[in-house]
Amino acid sequence: MIGDVVVGDDGRSRCAWVGADAEYARYHDEEWGRPLRGDRALFEKVSLEGFQAGLSWITILRKRPRFREVFVGFEPEVVAAFDEADVERLMTDAGIIRNRAKILATISNAGLVAQMEPGEFEALLWSFAPASGVRPTTLADVPAVTAESEAMSKALRRRGFRFVGPTTMYALMQSAAMVDDHVVACWRAVDE
């Protein structure tokens, strides 16, 4: 690691949070900070960010294939129909985070998304994307919460969404490219 970047075996400088983990490097290079669109894709991301609360993202990333399987591709209409038997099934699945409150929140949130018009959830989330900002020079320049993530969190909570706190929503904004927090020396910042 050199300051706020880490240099991979391929010679590329990446944001230092990647460390030496190959899966993190792949996620950083291919997904994090790339525009994410679509109600289903954004529902999945909101759900996984909620499961991540209090844990590391790499834990969720490694469990993501199983999450996708047991939550049926995060199709809101399907997840919204989960019942108590589904909750109990999920609570016994070691391949995911077995937190009853987070499971129930995902099911409840799915119902809220399913009630929206197609594209409404995407439009709602992206409405909080700020105008382009200054690219961070160091990781210390990257905030954990912004006025926009606080506003997004409040708007979602007013609608009944759970596990959508302002820090969690800022992580969503970063991963979905609503904000671009690749540090200046990162190859993704230079490449784009």
Q: Are 170 and 143 in contact (CB under 8 A)?
A: yes
Query: Does the annotation list 188 as a binding residue?
Result: no
Query: Does the annotation list 15 as a binding residue?
Result: yes
Query: Does the annotation list 28 as a binding residue?
Result: yes
3-state secondary structure of 15: strand
Instruction: Kindly write down the DSSP assignment for every residue of 150-181, as one continuous string.
Output: HHHHHHHHHTT--S--HHHHHHHHHHTTSS--
Q: Which of 57, 75, 126, 150 is catalytic?
A: 57
In angstroms, what is the C-alpha Rg of the chain? 17
Catalytic residue check, 187 = no
Query: Does the annotation list 151 as a binding residue?
Result: no
Q: Which of 27, 31, 126, 150 is catalytic?
A: 27
Catalytic residue check, 57 = yes
Q: In this structure, is the dihedral angle defined by the CA atoms of residues 90, 93, 96 and 101, taken in order, positive or negative?
A: positive
Amino acid at 17: W
How many angstroms separate the CA atoms of 65 and 5, rounded?
28
- Quick one: DSSP state of residue 131? S
Number of helical H runs and strand E runs in the chain: 10, 2
Catalytic residue check, 49 = yes
Q: Which residues contact 117 (CB under 8 A, 6 or more apart)?
A: none
Q: Which of 24, 32, 49, 148 is catalytic?
A: 49
Binding residue ranges for Zn(2+): 15, 28, 182, 186
Binding residues: 15, 28, 182, 186
Residues with catalytic roles: 27, 49, 57
